[in-house]
Amino acid sequence: MKILYVDDEPDIRDVAVMALEIDPDLEVKSAASGGEALSILDESGFRPDVVLLDVMMPVMDGPAVLEALRKRPEHAETPVVFITARAQAHETARFLSLGAVGVITKPFDPMTLALELRAILSRAAG
């Protein structure tokens, strides 16, 4: 499975990428901003199976990146999972209403991140 992980916090991003890359079935690319994520998608031809997307980032936040993805035909249906420290029920409902398939709460457990991601994708697939 191909994953694009987007987070402006380098320590969190590095831990997440290392945790995900332990699984040999996962190919992970990362970006430090929404703009960098869109550039990776537009310029590299990378077609992720899922985008893990931090909600709170400067300049272009997670919801803005999701909106930009939905305007690109090749990524309009790519599942997006938000990652956030703001995971109260009303916030989670808002993220899902924006088109995310799930929400992972920070701080997350690196040892179970891949399992949590797969569970969200499995539920979304029905």
| Residue 56: per-residue pLDDT | 96
Q: Which CATH number fits domain 2-125: 3.40.50.300, 3.40.1190.20, 3.40.50.12780, 3.40.50.2300?
A: 3.40.50.2300
Contact by Cβ (8 Å): 123, 92: no
Amino acid at 81: V
This prediction has a pTM of 0.95
pLDDT greater than 90 at residue 32: yes
| Residue 89: per-residue pLDDT | 87
Beta strands 102-105 and 2-6: pairing type?
Answer: unpaired
The closest alpha carbon to 21, from 2, 8, 38, 7, belongs to 2
Q: Quick one: pLDDT band at residue 124, thresholds 50, 70, 90?
A: very high
Q: Quick one: pLDDT band at residue 111, thresholds 50, 70, 90?
A: very high
Token digits of residue 60: 């272009």
Other Cβ atoms less than 10 A from the Cβ of 45: the count is 8
pLDDT tens per residue, range 61-110: 999 999 999 999 999 999 999 999 987 888 999 999 999 999 999 999 99
